[in-house]
Chains A and B, each alone.
Chain A
């Protein structure tokens, strides 16, 4: 183990005070604040409107998901992971199922893999749409929220048709899928792709070149690629800082290596770049979906897995690229039906650490913008 003290500490500079030499104002933002996306509490130290530093207080949504895992069988725990990042439940399910499959040394059949990729990418779009709506709302543009929710509805309809649930889907099973794709699934997905493409242009029309949007996002919440890596920040935030790191390409899981897509990166690592990266990611997801839906092979949807799962003694770490960043599952098995320990590496939790660094010296209004751009879900932060 590395001694945590020997790790180089991030140099968090205290911003210059204003000439007024005023007293610091300590403001408690949240947990009931409308812009903290749930129950995040931020203690802000302000000099006028300038943020001198901040501290996140989390745990208001802690449900002990990891502890619950120790008292459930592998199959029983599967629905719980949906409740962590509840806006990207399908991705969470994919990560967990693949981790357990790795532990059991089975692989889902190709047909299941394709359907998994389609649903996961649909979920990525849904998650980004929700992020865009709320992020724009935080910055004061109220209209994009309704546009994105209107279009996200179409994705939720596909989920509902596929597995009966809209949000906490529990779409996948360890070893494959429980349900065969319903009749007309491919047509629905294709229709959705055609439907949503012009809609993404519509969002961009409202925001991308909007003067106020540019002023509010350019140069706000800057973070360098180096700092991102030091803090373990992943996902669109890392890519917007210029680091080309996407687990779908770097360590291909599922069958992502079969698909052609690009990883968008930014240059400045500011809020605007993160916005652009996510907008491009939505289009790339559509590209993947288009390829996947063309190539769904025939065959079984479930690999041979025992009814009572007893993975061999050992441990496994498996991570996927969730919409918000690297979502990892570390599972320790003692050979019984229940995991000895499950540790989740949630992207929101790790990304949230960067908030202090990104907000120092900025204004109060920027804190809201940065919380929005980090795209955190408190269910995943607290677990």
Chain B
């Protein structure tokens, strides 16, 4: 027993990730935490997407289940679980059954290497980014199997579109990623593929890679930002599930729980690719201006942000509680909203405790950057019409791919020049 406790405690002193330290117990705890956190994030995204989209579209969105529809995602989840589980008679039952699991598996496995902080990752692989790209592209397999196994025209076309789309955008995505890896090699520690290493390289080089070699980093970021929307099949690249053309694309024949797995996978894939973008270009867990605004005062100021955010959310809740209709029918909802506000305020206050504050600030900045991407996803959906299939391919192969290639070569050239310059300076001006 004592040995076990020591085993648990031994990790707390190390400055590695649980996987890196080889501590199975903490790795399991982290896996559970990430899984729970991701599920909560998907639920929150569901509600936020409906609300934000609704407000963009001059309507209210869910308002009935819970105050301001806060319980709507839960009601939806229960509804989906209670629905009849249909496997079409003509479908290939086994493959039909497996397909959603492949998609969900791929979408969740990538979070093994996502670094929420210098030690806040399940594990740190030396091939982290390759692992992420590889595993996340496995989901296309699930989509193709889903479309094929349904044995129906619309899902089949949806699956074909989806596979073509994912494969072609992965190339451009990969090129953008490689340009970042070239940038990491400029630092004192040399190039790395590790997700944590990439963020540390940005810290060492003193700038986020989005600003590196301006505008090369920016261009790479844009290529990735476009490709990642296509990769996750979201608007304006949501052809595989274009509801006005293919009813629901590859998951037309799915219902109930299986359908909700696809839904879950889509949202966690969105979070996954956003976290790649954040890690590679936006400095991962690093707070804004880590080098310009240094010193204990600035550290303190930036570490107050998480608490302040939650307190602001709580204030919003209280404000809306005050605006609730004063009718007895709304008493429960009003109390519920006030209660939610109190919970948020408590979380905010807990986040002010110095011990918590220090540990949470990395995760907060990471989550905030990912959240910005999530908002972008919703914004796109509210604004853009959908691309046609051939146009989508054109954008992928004729615009993004050549740009990516040129970007890669330029990055290499500029990087070489920088290194040469450094060496020359060493020689001539000792």
Report which A residues bind B (CB closer than 8 A).
25, 27-28, 33-35, 49, 136-143, 145-147, 150, 206-207, 210, 212-213, 215-216, 363-366, 368
Contact = CB atoms under 8 A, between A and B. Distances in A.
B389 A365 contact: yes
Contacts of A212: 236, 384-387, 391
Interface centre among B53, B153, B388 (most CB of A within 10 A): B388
Given A140-B236, A216-B388, A34 B247 contact: yes
B389 A49 contact: yes
Interface residues of B, number: 28
Contacts of A145: 57
B387 A142 contact: no
B385 A366 contact: no
A145 B244 CA distance: 14
Contacts of B239: 365
B247 A365 contact: no
B139 to A, nearest CB: 22
B389 A363 contact: yes
Contacts, number: 81
Contact of B384 (A49, A141, A366): A141
A136 B383 CA distance: 11
Given A27-B153, A140-B238, A143-B383, A366 B58 contact: no
A25 B153 contact: yes
B273 interface: no
B239 to A, nearest CB: 8
Given A216-B386, A363-B388, A364-B157, A143 B57 contact: yes
Nearest to A211: B384
Contacts of A143: 56-57, 382-383
B385 A216 contact: yes
Contacts of B387: 140, 212, 215-216
A145 B247 CA distance: 18
A27 B245 CA distance: 12
Nearest to B236: A212
Residue of A139, A142, A143, A364 with most chain B CB atoms under a 10 A cut-off? A142
Interface string B372-393: 0000000001111111111100
Interface on chain A toward B: helix, strand, loop, or mixed SS?
helix
Nearest to B56: A143
Contacts of B58: 146-147, 150
Nearest to B235: A140
B236 A368 contact: no
Given A35-B244, A364-B157, A365-B242, A142 B57 contact: yes
Contacts of A363: 388-390
A146 B157 contact: no
Contact of A138 (B244, B247, B382, B388): B244
Given A25-B153, A363-B388, A142 B382 contact: yes
Nearest to A366: B388
B381 to A, nearest CB: 7
Contacts of B157: 49, 364
A140 B242 contact: yes
B382 to A, nearest CB: 5
B154 to A, nearest CB: 8
Interface in B118-171: 153-154, 157
A210 B389 contact: no
Given A25-B153, A146-B59, A364 B245 contact: yes
Given A142-B57, A143-B57, A35 B245 contact: yes
